[in-house]
Amino acid sequence: MIRTLEERDYSQSLQLSEYAFQYKLSEEEREQRSEQMGDQKIFGIFHDDHLAAKLHLMPFQTWFGERMIPMGGVAGVATYPEYRRNGYVRKLLLHSLEAMKEAGQFISMLHPFYIDFYRKFGWEVFASYRQMTVDQKELSPLSTATCTIRREGVTKEVMEAYDRYAKKHNGMLVRTDAWWKKKEDQWHVATYHADEMEGYILYTISEGVMTVDEFLPLTPGARKGLWNFICQHDSMVLTVKVKLAEGEVLPLMLKNPRIKVEDYPYFMARVVDVEPFLKTYLRDKETFEAFTLKVVDQHATWNSAVWHLSVNGVERRDGSPADVEVGIKELSAFTFGFLSAADLEAMGHIDADEVAFLESVSTTRQTCFQDFF
């Protein structure tokens, strides 16, 4: 039987996390984690009052262009070895889908320990990132206009810059002040200023390696200026590693573009409740030819239906012939903008005559996700 953990269960939850993810918390960290649990729903399966498996469900919002969408973040999924292969994680995931639907969180995200495992339950990769590794000898500045770089904390300008960048993409986390506070405690912040603040980086330096975890330019000048600031560390570091959003053009601008650039499939997403999600998604579409969409979702049966999509909205029409049939994980990757209709056809998920229907409602924004939970 699944039940929601109470404060008296938090110690067991922390012990399971320490065992499963192989770390040890200090007493201060245990207190901080316990406080954070009050803002989460933690579902657990118990054996004789002993916690056997658990799943954390966190309430978030994500940017979908200019709109904010309620999202359920799945994290901390863990089972003790002696209780594995009993289907406990499956039960917890299905329970979380029902809980998210009830809470009005009509999309979900998670960081997978193994991508194919979560695909079985309808989640699909929606965001990847590129890591650029540059040796000290390749740290060559680019020409740039006069500007100012400031090393400072997380300011209101930094938060606003993030939001401006996020609204150009699908899937980025809506960050609270508390979330930003964690960023400030863990990274250095450098900002680029011309007439106004036009971008920033979050970075650390340790043992001869500069790691840029967030490279966020809003203008071409900021892209050059922030890179030049990174190059100014050439006397301090042997290697620079820069985490870049998919589609970021910086590697091509370097004087020697033949550097190591690795692609990492990163976060996964899932549409939890098709009807309200599609209603929100289609608000950006001023005109397209109406069509019917059959969604197949074996784990969230409320989604398995034929939906009529038009500029007037979304209507359930079970029994009607469908112009397009698609699984929930493919629909999720498509609507976020990670896979195109042509990609779905190339992968064998839809037929050639279905491509045009989906293309008519495709998003023009790229996906991006810069966080972790």
Q: Which part of the chain has CATH 3.40.630.30?
A: 2-110, 129-265
User: What average pLDDT does range 288-304 have in this prediction?
Assistant: 98
CATH class of this structure's domain 273-365: alpha beta
Q: What is the pLDDT of residues 94-118, one digit of tens each?
A: 999 999 999 999 999 999 999 999 9
Cα–chain center distance at 3: 27
Q: At residue 178, does pLDDT exceed 80?
A: yes
Q: Which part of the chain has CATH 3.30.1050.10?
A: 273-365
115/304 Cα distance (integer angstroms): 23
Write out the two tokens for 101: 């639907």
Would you place residue 284 in the very low, low, confident or very high pLDDT band (cuts 50, 70, 90)? confident
User: What average pLDDT does range 37-46 have in this prediction?
Assistant: 96
User: What average pLDDT does range 332-345 have in this prediction?
Assistant: 98
Between CA 54 and CA 60, with CA 108 as vertex, the angle to 5 degrees is 90
Instruction: Give me the chain's average pLDDT, please.
Output: 96
3.40.50.620, 1.10.150.570, 2.40.30.10, 3.40.630.30: CATH of 129-265: 3.40.630.30
Q: At residue 267, does pLDDT exceed 90?
A: yes
Q: pLDDT at position 145, please? A: 67
User: What average pLDDT does range 23-51 have in this prediction?
Assistant: 94
287/324 Cα distance (integer angstroms): 18
User: What average pLDDT does range 334-349 have in this prediction?
Assistant: 98
Q: What is the pLDDT of residues 308-324, one digit of tens each?
A: 999 999 999 999 999 99
Q: At 89, give phi and psi (nearest 5°).
A: -65, -40
* Distance set, CA 27 to CA 30, 177, 265 (Å): 5, 25, 34
Helix H, strand E, coil C: the string for 134-188 is: EEHHHCCCCCCCCCEEEECCCCHHHHHHHHHHHCCEEEEECCCHHHHHHHHHHCE
Q: The whole model's pTM is what?
A: 0.94
Give the three-state DSSP class for 300: coil
Q: pLDDT at position 195, please? A: 87
Domain 2-110: CATH superfamily is Gcn5-related N-acetyltransferase (GNAT) (3.40.630.30)
Angle between helices 328-336 and 274-281 (to 10 degrees): 20
